[in-house]
Amino acid sequence: MINILLVGAGGFIGSVLRYLVSGWVQQASKSVDFPFGTLAVNVIGCFIIGVLAQLAESRGVFTSEARLFAFTGLLGGFTTFSSFGNETLNLARDGQLMNAFANVGANLAIGLFAVWLGRTVAYLLWR
């Protein structure tokens, strides 16, 4: 139960931070044509997970509970793209280049297809 609370607390904080940071960046960019706020949280999240993953692997600075809070909860709430980036880099680093490219391709293609499918189903059901 403690693990669930750690992930939930981290997710709450990460989601609030995502809302604040993406909103601030989008407003500061004054763009209505490009989602700079989303790009910013994805890049920031990827950078932070890179730093923390390196510290966790090379120095062992995180307990399993701290990893749940920071990686799964906080960064997962901030952006799941950071987890995707870290997992893809881990595959490439481990010499699994085909799996790394497959992960990128599958997430992009299937993710975009799922968005299209969801929108189409919603349109057909509730027009």
Place of tokens 């880099």: 89
Digit-coded pLDDT (tens) for 74-97: 999 998 788 889 889 999 999 999
Rounded to a whole number of angstroms, the CA Rg of the chain reads: 17
Confidence check: pLDDT of 35 > 90: no
Domain ranges in the chain are: 2-94, 100-127
Residues whose CB is less than 8 angstroms from the CB of residue 18 and which lie 6 or more positions away in sequence, other chains included: 41, 77, 78, 79
Residue 9: pLDDT band (50, 70, 90) is very high
Confidence (pLDDT) at 13? 98
Q: Is the dihedral of CA 66, 44, 110, 91 positive or negative?
A: negative
For the chain, percent of residues with pLDDT exceeding 70: 100
This prediction's pTM: 0.78
User: Could you write out the DSSP letters of every residue in the chain?
Assistant: -HHHHHHHHHHHHHHHHHHHHHHHHHHHHT-SSS-HHHHHHHHHHHHHHHHHHHHHHHH----HHHHIIIIIIIIHHH-HHHHHHHHHHHHHHTT-HHHHHHHHHHHHHHHHHHHHHHHHHHHHH--
